[in-house]
């Protein structure tokens, strides 16, 4: 009896934390700014738990009966929380309202659980033992959930199924509580039947999880979804319309196959063609292999090292027939070495030197990405440049995110690099910006690889000229302890959307 009680505490603690993590992750995927989303959700959740704990004092009778009902309500509300949030984002304007409402409801119910359970078992143990054991198993449950969530649940089950699974755990706790506390319950048969019905209901949800997600994503994305997966790091979606394949990471467009050649030719060739006798290239980000495709047009290269955080991305673009057609099987070249690691610690610890460094990360929509646009990161990356080396940085739009673009330029300058900003027009994105950076003078190349579709020697000079509406803006640098870039980027796109 005793160990079952404390296993109950462990499981309900895990369930409560999983629901909180799911809400924070979903908000980060769909709204961006992970620090803001997780901070507000954790704050609301803890506040609601406090309300639940305060309300528990007014429950005097029928504690076991009410505990069972709390578990049933958590199983239903928490279990379907992820599915409801996906559908709300796709079909309504009330995503944030629903999200915080669910967080508050779940938090209040979780806040009721432990005080009521402690009062149920206090007659069997001394108070000090009750507190010690309950809190110990509560914290162990939270630890287990925090480890399982990124390592197993999100990449294997996804957010919808993970929530439903832990909803089933809550209902299973309710079911075995009817046996643990049977003598204290007025109608065990009816409660057990209700538990079984809800378990079946959640089980159907588990079976239909893909349909639920597909229904939501079909309304979020205009075109047919041919691939969707949650990984430990992001939500990957590929869509197709006729011959146009598009990649979305956390709902943000990364490329369209119809015009990505403009972006990737502009990213690579103005810099790499200017390096005399390049031998070794480093790509940070670029897990789609499209930048590597352009780099391999230089036969004199001996090696290309690509560092990308997400192994699912590099696996997908190494094996999916449609995608290997786009990147021309660049990841299968014997010259290419793929390392799945966080670029920040990798550049800090690695000692290799490279003739050309490509920094091709998603836009700085949150602080975890923003750290890759800081003076600290650029200084660390520049230490890998050979004496003749150049570095190029994807730098968002100088038209639509003007402050952000010039903040990146200033950050590179503050990192001790000479900067050469330029821009091109990519139909899917509009005007898009890049920056070549080096420790020496850069001279545009007079010779480019054959067969390019967009970049030409004659057109290079115009890339480095900025009209008045994209001209330089005075901006502070983006530093690790004060990421002004993330805030500027958020404000830039808010201004555009209004």
What are the residues whose beta carbons fall under 8 Å from the beta carbon of 157, sequence distance 6 or more? 165
**DSSP type of residue 415:** T
Same domain, 222 and 340: no
Same domain, 185 and 277: no
Same domain, 337 and 455: yes
236: confidence class by pLDDT, cuts 50, 70, 90: very high
Mean pLDDT for the stretch of residues 142-163: 90
Q: Which of 1-5, 155-159, 180-184, 293-297 has the lowest mean pLDDT?
A: 1-5
Residue bearing the bigger pLDDT, 128 or 425? 425
Per-residue pLDDT of 272-306, as tens digits, reads 999 999 999 999 999 999 999 999 999 999 999 99
Say if residue 484's pLDDT is above 60.
Answer: yes
What does the block give as tokens for 183?
A: 């003598």
The structural domain count of the chain equals: 3
Same domain, 245 and 340: no
Answer with the one of 230, 254, 278 that is the final residue of a domain. 254
Say if residue 128's pLDDT is above 80.
Answer: no
Same domain, 150 and 194: yes
- Quick one: pLDDT at residue 266? 98
- Quick one: pLDDT at residue 138? 85
- Quick one: pLDDT at residue 497? 62
Per-residue pLDDT of 347-380, as tens digits, reads 999 999 999 999 999 999 888 899 999 999 999 9
Same domain, 290 and 185: no
Same domain, 264 and 249: no
Radius of gyration over every alpha carbon of the chain, rounded to an integer in angstroms: 27
Same domain, 265 and 187: no
CATH number, domain with residue 461 = 3.40.50.150
- Quick one: pLDDT at residue 125? 65
- Quick one: pLDDT at residue 132? 77
DSSP for 318-347 reads HH-HHHHHHTTTGGGSTTEEEEES-HHHHH
Q: Which of 288, 308, 360, 492 is catalytic?
A: 360
Same domain, 250 and 304: no
Query: In the predicted model, what is the mean pLDDT of the chain?
Result: 92
Domain membership of residue 248 as a residue range: 218-254
What are the residues whose beta carbons fall under 8 Å from the beta carbon of 121, sequence distance 6 or more? 5, 130, 134
Answer with the one of 198, 229, 254 that is the final residue of a domain. 254
CATH number, domain with residue 178 = 1.20.1250
Contact predicate 366/249, CB 8 Å: no
Same domain, 13 and 56: yes
Say if residue 31's pLDDT is above 70.
Answer: yes
Q: Which of 94-108, 124-138, 484-498 has the lowest mean pLDDT?
A: 124-138
- Quick one: pLDDT at residue 231? 87
Answer with the one of 226, 254, 282 that is the final residue of a domain. 254
Question: How far is the C-alpha of 277 from the C-alpha of 327, rounded, in Å?
Answer: 24
Say if residue 498's pLDDT is above 60.
Answer: no
What are the residues whose beta carbons fall under 8 Å from the beta carbon of 438, sequence distance 6 or more? 385, 389, 390, 391, 417, 418, 420
232: confidence class by pLDDT, cuts 50, 70, 90: confident
pTM over 0.75: yes
469: confidence class by pLDDT, cuts 50, 70, 90: very high
Phi, psi (degrees; rounded to nearest 5) at 244: -100, 115
The two beta strands, 280-285 and 303-308, are parallel
Residue bearing the bigger pLDDT, 410 or 124? 410
Mean pLDDT for the stretch of residues 131-150: 86
Same domain, 14 and 55: yes
Residue 492 annotated as catalytic: no
Same domain, 352 and 420: yes
216: confidence class by pLDDT, cuts 50, 70, 90: confident
């Amino acid at each position: 009896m005793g160990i079952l009680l404390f296993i109950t505490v462990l499981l309900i603690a895990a369930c409560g934390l999983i629901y909180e993590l799911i809400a924070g992750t979903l908000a980060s995927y769909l709204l961006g700014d992970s620090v803001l989303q997780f901070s507000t959700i954790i704050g609301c959740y803890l506040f609601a738990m406090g309300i639940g704990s305060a309300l528990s004092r007014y429950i005097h009778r029928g504690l076991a009966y009410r505990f069972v009902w709390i578990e049933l309500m958590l199983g239903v509300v928490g279990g379907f929380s992820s599915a409801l949030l996906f559908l709300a984002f796709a079909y309504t304007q009330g995503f944030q309202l629903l999200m915080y409402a669910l967080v508050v409801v779940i938090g209040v119910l979780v806040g009721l659980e432990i005080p009521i359970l402690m009062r149920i078992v206090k007659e069997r143990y001394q108070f000090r033992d009750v507190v010690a054991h309950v809190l110990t198993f509560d914290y162990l449950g939270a630890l287990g959930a925090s480890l399982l969530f990124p390592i197993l649940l999100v990449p294997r089950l996804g957010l919808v199924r993970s929530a439903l699974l832990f909803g089933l755990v809550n209902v299973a706790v309710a079911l075995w509580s009817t046996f643990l506390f049977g003598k204290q319950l007025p109608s065990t048969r009816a409660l057990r039947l209700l538990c079984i019905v809800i378990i079946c209901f959640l089980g159907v949800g588990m079976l239909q999880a893909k349909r639920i997600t597909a229904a939501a994503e079909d309304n979020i994305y205009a075109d047919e979804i041919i691939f969707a997966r949650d990984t430990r790091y992001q939500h990957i979606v590929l869509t197709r319309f006729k011959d146009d394949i598009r990649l979305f990471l956390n709902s943000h467009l990364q490329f369209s196959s119809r015009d990505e050649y403009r972006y990737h030719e502009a990213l690579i060739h103005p810099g790499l063609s200017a390096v005399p006798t390049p031998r070794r290239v480093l790509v940070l980000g670029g897990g789609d292999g499209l930048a590597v495709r352009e780099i391999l047009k230089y036969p004199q290269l001996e090696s290309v090292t690509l560092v990308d955080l997400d192994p699912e991305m590099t696996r997908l673009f190494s094996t999916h027939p449609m995608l290997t057609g786009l990147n021309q099987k660049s990841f299968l070249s014997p010259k290419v070495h793929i390392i799945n690691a966080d670029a920040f610690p990798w550049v800090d610890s690695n000692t290799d030197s490279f003739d050309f460094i490509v920094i091709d990360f998603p836009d700085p929509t949150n602080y975890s990405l923003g750290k890759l646009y800081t003076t600290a990161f650029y200084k660390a990356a520049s230490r890998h440049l050979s004496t003749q080396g150049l570095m190029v940085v994807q730098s968002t739009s100088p038209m639509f995110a003007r402050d952000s673009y010039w903040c990146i330029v200033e950050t590179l300058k503050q990192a001790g690099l000479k900067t050469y900003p330029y821009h091109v027009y990519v139909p899917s994105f509009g005007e898009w910006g890049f920056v070549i950076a080096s420790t020496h003078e850069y001279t545009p190349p007079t010779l480019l690889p054959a067969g390019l579709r967009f970049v030409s020697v004659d057109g290079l000079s115009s890339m480095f000229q900025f009209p008045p509406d994209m001209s330089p803006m005075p901006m502070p640098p983006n530093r690790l302890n004060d990421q002004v870039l993330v805030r500027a980027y958020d404000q830039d796109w808010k201004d555009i959307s209004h």
